Structure 1
Amino acid sequence: MRQQRRRSARRAERLRRWREDVYRRIRARKMQRAAMLLMAVAGFQEGQHRDRQIWVEHRESNWWEDTVLHPAYRKWNEDFRMSKACFEHICNQLNPVLRKQDTNWRKSIPVNKRVALTLYRLATNESYRSIGNLFNVARSTACVIFQETCEAIVSTLMRTYIRMPEGRTLEKTMRGFRRKTGFPMCGGAIDGSHIPIIGPNENHTDFLNRKNHHSVILQAVCDDKYRFIDINVGWPGRVHDARVFSNSRIRRVGDSGRLFPNIAENLYGVEIPPMIIGDPAYPLLSWLMKGFRDNGNLTAEKKMFNHILSKTRMVIEGCFGRLKGRWRCLLKRNDSDTEFVVTVITACCILHNICEIHKQRFNPEWLQGINEERRPRPENLDVHGQAGRFNPEQIRETLVQHFVRLFPDELQRFQ
């Protein structure tokens, strides 16, 4: 009996101590919550934004605010590939999409800083860590800003700055090509270019091009003033240009007869419709002209035609050179996700057109390290007419006759 009473007394004592401990913890938590509430109320009543010491890391350098925004800054064209006026024009167009709201904790990053960070990254291909130090933001923040701004450029400005010419614009383009080389009814030049990337984890062999490097293909059409009028981005580097073209929107629109307006120029009794010009990798169509296949037996007239067409088509190679010279991120392997690489390339093409339209100065030194190698590519023997009205072979023969009459002295060079 005595042992049972002792055990009962010990259990009662443990229970009492446990209850006291629980009550003590509850009181401590209540006091802690009350103290936090008082601190929050006191901070709110101050009505002042205090500098955050935990959430924002203090950075010593701020190249953007201390140097670039200074009135004496004169390197806009070198650092951002455009003048300050052109830069502000882009910021105004992107402002509705990129503008963020200030909060009680911090002020939002302004639109001009977001656009400048993106342009600097595209122009120099600097790492996010270096760019973060220059613009006084964290590396992760620089990455997010770059992605958001590239996506805003594509979604907001694509339809405004990259589109096929119509009406008077088309007439000016055709006059421009004719003034340069004498080629009539030329509305653009088409070609493809490889943009290097880091091979993806899945199906990486599909992106290996003929040089055994990973890349994606940029198929583009440009006008006489080095401006893109149509682009197709994203096909793996292993794919031939002819297949990219066959699956592109411009092929579907061209075959439907909606690529150019229903106009034609009569040359020696043959109607010559508006057309784009390409190299032997592309098919011969009523709206796509290419040279004769050189099997060693070409006549002097056909050789001269090939020479004039090739000289006219050089504008697309110059366009690719100016694109990569301005935005040098396209020269080195892009470390972004394969899908986002398409967005980056498209954004570069849009910004390139903005610079060309606003006549921004292009520094010839930017072309250093750019080698758009022209390689012989398999001949595409496809020949198609358009609804029976235009015969591509007849059009090409008529153009041969036209150049012989237009440049009789040049013909001697090819005999």
Structure 2
Amino acid sequence: MIASRPRRILWNRRRSREWWNNIVLGTYNDDQWLEHFRIRRRTFNVLCDKLRPLLKKKQTHLRQTITVELRVAAALWYLASGTDYRTLAELFGMGKATVHRIVSEVCEAIRTLQSFFINLPKGEKLQEVVEGFKERWGFPQCAGAIDGSHISVTPPSEDSKDYYNRKGSYSIILQAVVDHRSRFTNINVGWPGSVHDARVLRNSTLFHLAENGQLFPTETQEIEGVHIPVMLLGDPAYPLMSWLMKGFPDNGHLSREQRLFNYRLSRARMTVECAFGQLKGRWRCLLKKIEVSITRVPTIISACCVLHNLCSMNDDTFLDAWMQDVEEPVEVNAPDIPVTQERAEGPQCVRRALSLYFDKNPV
């Protein structure tokens, strides 16, 4: 008779999850969920349901399964606080290696939702954005504001100088377009911090869509005798193009109309500055140096952008206190691109027409 093999028993050290099971699930009210996880309980449930097919694991006799809810909660705590993995492991009753893997897996899963939550507007949604910019900011034919933001990182040992930006730190760049509600409609993540915003743009899918006439419809609105196309609003780091408007270069001799135009454009571009501020204020890991492999950083940033839109779509409150330590936008790129480098004749006519329009239509 062949003796049966002895059944293996659980080999991992049992860790306490009393805080999660009894305190968080048992006593946290909605405000406490928002304070600690940066999203309300109902939004947390929505997120877990969307991630469940990607994160659910089978339970075996060797190891107790960690629930989807606990895995998502641990990742959100990391993103919201940027706390170290050792503290996170103790808090959620897991091993350090386990919690490290879980944060990575959850962020990867959230990133897969990007195509659902972050999309360039088309059709009726595009019209809603254009009308939103005109109603809220008094800027016609605007389909979004574009800018870049630097996220602090630990640079790779090779080519570390590529990540050293003009502000004097190591970073990678998040290029983003936002709508009138400061929701992301397009993101591009991963270029090293030394790269100019204009180069990031020119190497993005967004640029190629625009140059091939696929970004916006060709319909225009006549203003002051000029046909104004649908366009994005950018800062001086970007080129002036038919689909990308920026202010007049400040040479110290701007006319009143030109100064007014620059003010109105800057005012409308507050949407993207607000989006970056709220992104970093809610998901405070982005305020610290992200100390993971440089190849994983874009996933973490993209996941935060998805969560930013998820919270906005579900009306999850953004608390003013979260803006503490969030720096005001700082230009870290080169000065204005010279007009000689731009295909600017048509866009300059558009800019002059809008200057006259703003002079006649104050807000």
**After superposition, what is the alpha-carbon deviation per residue over 1:342-379, rounded to whole angstroms, capped at 9, x for unaligned?**
11000000110100111100011100001133337411
Cα RMSD (Å) of the superposition?
1.8
Amino acid across the alignment from 2:244: L
In the TM superposition, what is the alpha-carbon distance from 1:69 to its structure 2 partner? Answer: 0.9
Matched, 1:138 2:138: no
In the TM superposition, what is the alpha-carbon distance from 1:200 to its structure 2 partner? Answer: 1.3
**After superposition, what is the alpha-carbon deviation per residue over 1:296-320, rounded to whole angstroms, capped at 9, x for unaligned?**
1211111111111111111111110
For 1:161 and 1:142, the matched residues in 2 are separated by: 26
1:345 to 284, 301, 305: 301
In the TM superposition, what is the alpha-carbon distance from 1:103 to its structure 2 partner? Answer: 1.1
Larger relative contact order, structure 1 or 2 (CA cutoff 8 Å, min sep 6): 2
Q: What does residue 264 of structure 2 align with?
A: 308
Matched, 1:165 2:121: yes
TM-score by length of 2: 0.95
1:333-372 aligned within 5 A: 333-372=289-328
Matched, 1:208 2:164: yes
Amino acid across the alignment from 2:352: E
Q: Which moved more, 1:284-293 or 1:369-378?
A: 369-378
Q: What does residue 233 of structure 2 align with?
A: 277
1:150 to 81, 93, 107: 107
Count of aligned pairs between the two proteins:
359
Query: What SS does the aligned partner of 2:128 have?
Result: helix
TM-score by length of 1: 0.83
In the TM superposition, what is the alpha-carbon distance from 1:107 to its structure 2 partner? Answer: 2.7
For 2:186 and 2:4, the matched residues in 1 are separated by: 63
Amino acid across the alignment from 1:272: I
In the TM superposition, what is the alpha-carbon distance from 1:61 to its structure 2 partner? Answer: 5.2
2:351 to 396, 399, 403: 396
**After superposition, what is the alpha-carbon deviation per residue over 1:68-120, rounded to whole angstroms, capped at 9, x for unaligned?**
11155441101111111100001111111111011122331111111111111
Query: What SS does the aligned partner of 1:334 have?
Result: coil
Amino acid across the alignment from 2:343: H
Matched, 1:85 2:36: no
For 1:273 and 1:235, the matched residues in 2 are separated by: 29
For 1:118 and 1:305, the matched residues in 2 are separated by: 44
Check 1:39–1:219 CA distance in 2 against 1; reply closer, same or farther (3 A cut). closer
Query: What SS does the aligned partner of 1:70 have?
Result: helix
Query: What SS does the aligned partner of 2:269 have?
Result: helix
Q: Is the 8 Å Cα contact of residues 247 and 261 (structure 2) preserved in structure 1?
A: yes
1:39-188 aligned within 5 A: 40=6, 52=10, 55-60=11-16, 62-74=18-30, 75-155=32-112, 157-188=113-144
Q: Is the 8 Å Cα contact of residues 99 and 111 (structure 1) preserved in structure 2?
A: yes
Q: Is the 8 Å Cα contact of residues 118 and 306 (structure 2) preserved in structure 1?
A: yes
Query: What SS does the aligned partner of 2:150 have?
Result: strand
Instruction: State, as a whole percentage, how many aligned pairs show the same letter.
Output: 43
For 1:102 and 1:79, the matched residues in 2 are separated by: 29
Q: Is the 8 Å Cα contact of residues 231 and 245 (structure 2) preserved in structure 1?
A: yes
Query: What SS does the aligned partner of 2:189 have?
Result: strand
Matched, 1:230 2:186: yes
**Residue segments in structure 1 that go unaligned for 5+ positions in a row:** 1-32, 44-49, 411-415
Q: Which has the higher helix share?
A: 1
Query: What SS does the aligned partner of 1:68 have?
Result: helix
Q: Which has the larger radius of gyration?
A: 1
Query: What SS does the aligned partner of 1:366 have?
Result: helix
Q: Is the 8 Å Cα contact of residues 152 and 172 (structure 2) preserved in structure 1?
A: yes
1:325 to 281, 285, 297: 281
